């Protein structure tokens, strides 16, 4: 998981470096297109394309792709509009949205403890957003849209995982994303230089490899062990932001990030505890 976090963090830096020159849609295309290479290698090694291409849920994969594409575009745009550390911190609102969405979309029961953590977590989001005057700036709104769509994508993955293998889900998302976003290229295209071609290719390879490492991490260890490690991406983002752009996180970003991360970890703790004791359901409203 640390390898995944590091590769995703480097990819985010490359994206932010390129957003001043390239349209977001073009960056999204290359992120998906070059990510197909490590994804296809992994599929070939672990079972072949005959198994990976077999699916009974084409509509589900298409829906997951649309949501995932929206997530990627929003996240890349937020990297352009905000300091990298702030954008990553706001993306940590995803587990809060996921908890809230699990009620209407998955029919799960969320008790008072997790609802309380969600409310406190969104309070942390407001602290990061600096409600004294900047709360409704475009970068914050775009980052939160990305976090919401990321949570929605996780919901669709949970639904697909009931019948689909993880390699199948990753392949169709990457492949369909490449095809769909390619439609926008004639309307917004900047020809890369040789160095920029290398950066675009590296961005996609990093993203695809990081996705595979993350999937593997969740297959090797419980979510309670793996998921908290994703929060280390904030430290990496802050470090790169300081070294490359001179961005120093404000006190509100630090305090708000701590609140959001603590809320996310508590939600994960309650979820793990609930799943660990299925034979002894908690009393109504206690979770």
- In this predicted model, what pLDDT tens digit does every residue of 63-84 receive, in sequence order? 999 999 999 999 999 999 999 9
Which tokens in the block code for residue 219? 């297959």
Task: Name residues whose C-beta falls within 8 Å of residue 133's C-beta, 6 or more positions apart in sequence.
Answer: none
Q: What size, in residues, is the chain?
A: 287
Evaluate if residue 276 carries a pLDDT over 70: no
For 105-118, how does the pLDDT look when each residue is reduced to its tens digit (9 = 90+)? 877 788 888 889 88
Mean pLDDT of 261-282: 71
**What pLDDT, on a 0 to 100 scale, did the predictor assign at position 285?**
44
Q: Of 269, 281, 261, whose CA–CA distance to 114 is shortest?
A: 269
Distance in angstroms (rounded) separating the CA atoms of residues 251 and 257: 10
Mean pLDDT of 131-157: 82
> Which one is predicted more confidently, 178 or 266?
178
For 222-234, how does the pLDDT look when each residue is reduced to its tens digit (9 = 90+)? 766 777 788 888 8
Do residues 5 and 204 make contact, with C-beta atoms less than 8 angstroms apart? no
Question: What DSSP letter does each residue of 72-117 carry, written as one string?
Answer: HHHHHHHHHHS-HHHHHHHHTTHHHHHHHHHHHHH-----HHHHHH
Distance in angstroms (rounded) separating the CA atoms of residues 210 and 8: 6
**What pLDDT, on a 0 to 100 scale, did the predictor assign at position 212?**
87
**pLDDT interval class at 101 (50, 70, 90):** confident
Which tokens in the block code for residue 89? 């911190």
Which value, to the nearest 10 degrees, does the dihedral of the CA atoms of residues 148, 143, 260, 257 take?
A: 170
Domain boundaries, the chain: 2-276
Count Cα atoms within 13 angstroms, Cβ side, for 106. 21
**What pLDDT, on a 0 to 100 scale, did the predictor assign at position 277?**
52
Evaluate if residue 41 carries a pLDDT over 70: yes
**What pLDDT, on a 0 to 100 scale, did the predictor assign at position 38?**
93
Mean pLDDT of 205-226: 82
Mean pLDDT of 10-15: 94
> Which one is predicted more confidently, 98 or 223?
98
Say if residue 187 is exposed, middle or buried (CB neighbours under 10 Å; 0-12, 13-18, 19+).
exposed
Evaluate if residue 199 carries a pLDDT over 90: yes
**pLDDT interval class at 167 (50, 70, 90):** confident
């Amino acid at each position: 998981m640390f390898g995944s976090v590091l590769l995703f963090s480097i990819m985010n830096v490359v994206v932010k470096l390129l957003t001043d020159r390239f349209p977001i849609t073009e960056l999204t295309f290359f992120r998906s297109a070059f990510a197909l290479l490590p994804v296809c290698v992994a599929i070939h090694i672990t079972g072949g394309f005959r198994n990976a291409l077999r699916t009974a849920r084409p509509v589900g994969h298409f829906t997951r792709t649309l949501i995932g594409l929206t997530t990627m575009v929003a996240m890349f745009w937020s990297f352009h509009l905000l300091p990298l550390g702030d954008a990553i911190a706001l993306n940590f609102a995803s587990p809060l949205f996921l908890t809230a969405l699990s009620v209407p979309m998955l029919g799960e029961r969320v008790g008072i403890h997790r609802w309380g953590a969600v409310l406190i977590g969104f309070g942390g989001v407001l602290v990061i957003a600096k409600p004294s005057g900047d709360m409704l700036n475009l970068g914050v709104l775009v980052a939160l849209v990305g976090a919401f769509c990321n949570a929605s994508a996780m919901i669709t993955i949970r639904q697909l995982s009931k019948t689909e293998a993880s390699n199948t889900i990753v392949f169709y998302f990457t492949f369909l994303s490449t095809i769909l976003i390619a439609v926008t290229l004639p309307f917004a295209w900047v020809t890369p230089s040789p160095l920029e071609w290398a950066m675009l290719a590296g961005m996609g390879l990093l993203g695809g490899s990081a996705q595979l490492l993350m999937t593997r991490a969740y297959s090797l260890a419980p979510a309670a062990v793996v998921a908290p490690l994703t929060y280390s991406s904030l430290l990496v983002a802050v470090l790169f932001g300081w070294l490359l752009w001179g961005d120093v996180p404000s006190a509100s970003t630090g305090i708000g990030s701590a609140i959001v991360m603590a809320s996310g970890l508590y939600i994960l703790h309650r979820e793990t505890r609930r799943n660990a004791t299925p034979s002894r359901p908690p009393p109504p409203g206690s979770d």
